[in-house]
Chains A and B, each alone.
Chain A
Amino acid sequence: MPLISTLSNASARGYGFTGGLAITNSYESIQTVTLGSTQTTISFTSIPSTFKHLQVRGIARGTFASTNLNLCMQVNSDTSNSYTYHQLNGDGSSASASGGSAQSFGFVGRIAQANATASAFGASVIDILDYSDTNKYSTIRALGGYDANGNGMMTLMSSAYIKTDAISSIQIFGNLGDLVAYSSFALYGIRG
């Protein structure tokens, strides 16, 4: 019997002398936050430094009196002007691009707001590469958007945290207003 065998689902099984099984995964769930009521910010704290990359996946809707707004991210509760961003957007009528430097947050998606079709939420898949590497800035990449059957926006976003600090916490919030109940984000760690 081999000491280590691989499985088809990219996990591995190891056999120890005690006869116990140890199963490891390269993509692990770290934390999940689902709002039970309106709240300004969704936070992930005490993020372990033992992964290679992070992924955040979720849905959100805001309270602001518009149809849609950007979803924003800060890390380490850092509200200083230490973020840059670029975005490519399509709203069904026109494709556009924009960017900025020395911002107080990065952009990670586009979500429905109070004036959008009820029960419509925006969705985002956010990747943070090399988040614990103190030799480089952190890159944040997002695929996101919302559609509300008559208005909507698809967006590709890239942000950078212009500090070499390891990321130990993440804050997600709407550009204006709060996030409604059932807004939900899950943090995953990817091993390298």
Chain B
Amino acid sequence: MPSTYTPIATTNGTGSSSSITFSSIPSTYTDLILIVNGATASSTGNPCLRFNGDTGTNYSRTNLGGSGSSAYTDRETSANRILLIGGVYFSNTLNTNLIVHIQNYSNTTTYKSTLCRANKATDAVDANVGMWRNTAAINSLTFFTASGFNISSDSTFTLYGIAAA
């Protein structure tokens, strides 16, 4: 029986770069899942996502989170990236976990949707839906910190493909 939930690529941060890119993503899966367990090498940064190298203001997101004292929600429109969090940050003090679902990434008809769960015990929990306003199939994705702080060398990034029947 063919493999359904398949690791496509895995990489670590370098400590000297603020971004990670997965390129040449095969179009043969249905969904992608990006799993991140990471931190910055110094200071605090906001984890973000872009597709196909698109730096235009073609992204938006709606976030729901809880800080331990209150629930919150916020939104960004016409942004140049999907900000994956609302109150959960990348920092150099404790790792942040993110699981990003990128649904039906290779179809050429719909805008692309992302669903993200982010967790960091000292910050908050976030659930986030994002949109890339482009019908192109996704063939690369770039994870980066909005502030430009470098990603620590023990940060892990794994991209999985899920193939539907």
**Hey, which bits of chain A sit against chain B, CB under 8 A?**
9-11, 23-25, 27-32, 57-59, 61, 88-95, 117, 119-125, 143-150, 152-156, 182, 184, 186, 188
Contacts and interface: CB of A to CB of B under 8 A. Distances in A.
| Those 6 A-B pairs whose CB atoms lie nearest each other, nearest first | A90-B64, A90-B73, A92-B75, A145-B129, A186-B164, A152-B62
A81 to B, nearest CB: 28
Contacts of B109: 119, 182
Given A9-B3, A92-B75, A93-B73, A29 B104 contact: no
B36 to A, nearest CB: 16
Contacts of A188: 4, 162, 164
Interface stretch (B45-53, B111-119, B147-155): B111-119
A156 B127 contact: yes
A92 B76 CA distance: 8
Name the residue in A28, A32, A90, A95 with the highest tally of chain B Cβ atoms < 10 Å from its Cβ.
A90
A28 B4 contact: yes
Nearest to B130: A147
7 contacts: A32-B165, A90-B72, A123-B129, A148-B60, A152-B129, A154-B64, A184-B104
Given A30-B165, A90-B62, 11 more contacts: A27-B5, A91-B73, A123-B113, A145-B62, A149-B60, A149-B133, A153-B129, A154-B63, A154-B127, A182-B109, A188-B164
A125 B6 CA distance: 17
Of B5, B65, B114, chain A has the most CB atoms within 10 Å of the CB of B5
Interface in B60-93: 60-65, 71-75, 77-78
A100 B5 CA distance: 35
Nearest to A148: B131
Given A25-B3, A94-B73, A184-B104, A121 B111 contact: yes
A147 B164 contact: no
A154 B62 contact: yes
Nearest to B72: A95
Decide if the interface of chain B is mainly helix, strand, loop or mixed: strand
B165 A149 contact: no
A148 B110 CA distance: 12
A156 B126 CA distance: 11
A58 to B, nearest CB: 7
Contacts of B4: 25, 27-29, 188
Contacts of B16: none
B71 A153 contact: no
B115 A143 contact: yes
A149 B127 contact: no
Contacts of A144: 115, 129
Contact of B110 (A31, A121, A143): A121
A125 B111 contact: no
A29 B163 contact: yes
A152 B75 contact: yes
B162 A57 contact: yes
A152 B115 CA distance: 12
B133 A117 contact: yes
Contacts of A58: 103-104
A172 B130 CA distance: 22
Contacts of B117: 143
Contacts of B131: 120, 146-149, 152
A24 B5 CA distance: 12
